[in-house]
Structures are given as C-alpha cells and as structure tokens.
Amino acid sequence: MIYTVTFNPALDYVVNVNHFTLGQVNRTVGEHIFYGGKGINVSALLANLGYESVALGFVAGFTGDEIERGVKRLGFCSDFIHVKRGMSRINVKLKSDQESEINGMGPEITDGDVGELFGKLEGLMEGDVLVLSGSIPASIEPDIYERIMARLDGRGVRIAVDAEKDLLLNVLCYHPFLIKPNNHELGQMFGVELEGEEEIAAYARRLQERGARNVLVSMAGDGALLVTEDGQVLRQGVAKGVVKNSVGAGDSMVAGFLAGYLETGDYGYALKLGTACGGATAFSDGIGTKDEIMRLLATL
C-alpha cells in the first residue's frame, strides 16, 4: 500500500478578480475550491492513475470534515486524525493582475495527536511506500520527519521525501528511497547557484553520498534529471503545453515516478511517467487526469 502524510491539509479557495483594487469591494469572476496539501495531491494523482493509497494527517473542524468528504470524491481513502482545537486551514489564493495568497494557521496539534499518527504508522510493513512531503506546522516539532523515518528504519518501507533544505537534509541518514528537490532548492542546500545539468548532477550525487538512494531534480522548463541508486544519470525533457497552474505539479511528478517504478521497476519509465504527470497537472486547473497524462507520455 502507498501512504501519504499531509500534516496541515487545507481547503484552497481560488478566486479570480479583474483588476483587484485594495480598499474597495471587488467582485469575483471565477471561484474554485481545491483540497490542498502536498500529500493529498500525491494521492489524488495516484487515484487518477488507478493506484490505491491512504492519506494520513490531521484535520479539525467543519473544514476538516469537508476535506475528508472531498478526498473521498477524489477517489482515495483517508485515515486522518481528528484534532480537537482549531480548524483545518482555508487558504485564499487571489488571481488578478498580480497573484496574492492568505494562508490559514491550521489546528493546534498536540503530542497526543502526533502519538496517534505514530500508532497508525506502526502498521506499515515491507513493500509499503510512504510519502512525506511539505512543511511542518508550528505546533509540531520540526524533527518529525526524522522521528518517523527512525521509527520505520529497517522495515523495508520505501520512503519518498519532498521537502525543503534542512527537513530534507536531516533525513538522508535514513536512506530515503526517493527525494525530489528542484534545482533551486538543490543549490540552496549547498549555498551555490547551479548552472547546467552537469553541476546539478554533481550536487545530486552529493545528496546520494549522504544517504539518498534516488535523487529526482525537477528543473521547470528544462525538464527533470534523475540520479539513480545504480549510478545512472537520466535526463528527461519537459512535456509541451500551456502552464495554467503550478500548484501540485511537483507532487504529481513524485506520484507518477512512484507509480511508474512500482509498475515496471524501470527508472527510465518512472522518470517519463513522472514528467508526464507533472506536466498534466501544470497544464490543468487541478490535478492531471489519466487521459492527459497518457497523451503527454506518448510525446516524451
């Protein structure tokens, strides 16, 4: 089974306003609600490909109830922990002449809530896949990724981690199956500005030297680069299309990569499918559909 963890899921309320003016009443010309959170995005893309997964994490209040209903409609199962204090976030994303965001705080997560999550993770076994992605709420200790991976160390669980800088660097000693920085995040980890694929590959190998098994680097319009655990450096050009939405594209790439690898055991195919999935989401208003993914895959 594939499990995803979203520590701070949200309802993303996306509004379109023509020429937003501060201090005045503005009327929307378009409104959408999406179920937000990096782990939720991964599970949604997997569902579109026909793969089952279980979404874990924390929800609270009426917004948490709606997130639970929403993920069911998206086609995957959840086993969220219900937090007593606060409510799940509503993130307002304003699209006008400029884009602006107001992100909610999320609920207060206690040590007992975290302990309940650890109890659910105890059921993972050899061959399962766990996806840890996104930022950590202020009410959770920042070493939570490390604690989870330490608890599961040696069990044969394949763990994918998609997080920034220290959150990612601190878990490398637990040998994650996959990590996915983008090229800018990779440079920030080492305090350098990377120029060209050779430099990107060299610094990806440095993450391998610190413990990562496979390093997938997304490079926006330049495609993606994968340094595999067996020493290959694979490059994949970007899918062609008009970008409508960057939210969830990286999560979709992770989901597609995992699905491709689980299906074939072939890193080259996993990289292609991951790239097609990332493109399908970037070229859509929401998470990419299977039809769009397959169409793009055929062009790569």
- Any idea which residues carry the catalytic annotation? 251
Extended strands (E) in 123-278 = 129-133, 158-162, 178-179, 214-218, 224-227, 233-236
Strands 81-82 and 53-59: parallel
**E strand segments, 176-287:** 178-179, 214-218, 224-227, 233-236
The residue with tokens 């990107």 is 200
Give CA–CA dist 236/219, Å, rounded. 10
Q: How far apart are the C-alpha atoms of 83 and 110, rounded to whole Å?
A: 8
| Cross-strand partners of 118 | none
User: Residue 170 CB: number of other CB atoms within 10 A?
Assistant: 16
Q: Are 258 and 1 in contact (CB under 8 A)?
A: no
**CA atoms 119, 153, 261, 253: torsion sign:** positive
Residue 130 burial (10 A CB sphere; 0-12, 13-18, 19+): buried
Task: Report yes or no: 218 and 254 within 8 Å, Cβ to Cβ.
Answer: no
Question: Cα separation of 260 and 238, whole Å?
Answer: 17
Distance from C-alpha of 213 to C-alpha of 179, rounded to nearest angstrom: 8
Q: Is 23 left (phi over 0), alpha (psi -120 to 50) or beta?
A: left
Asked whether 71 and 36 are in contact (CB, 8 A), the reply is: no
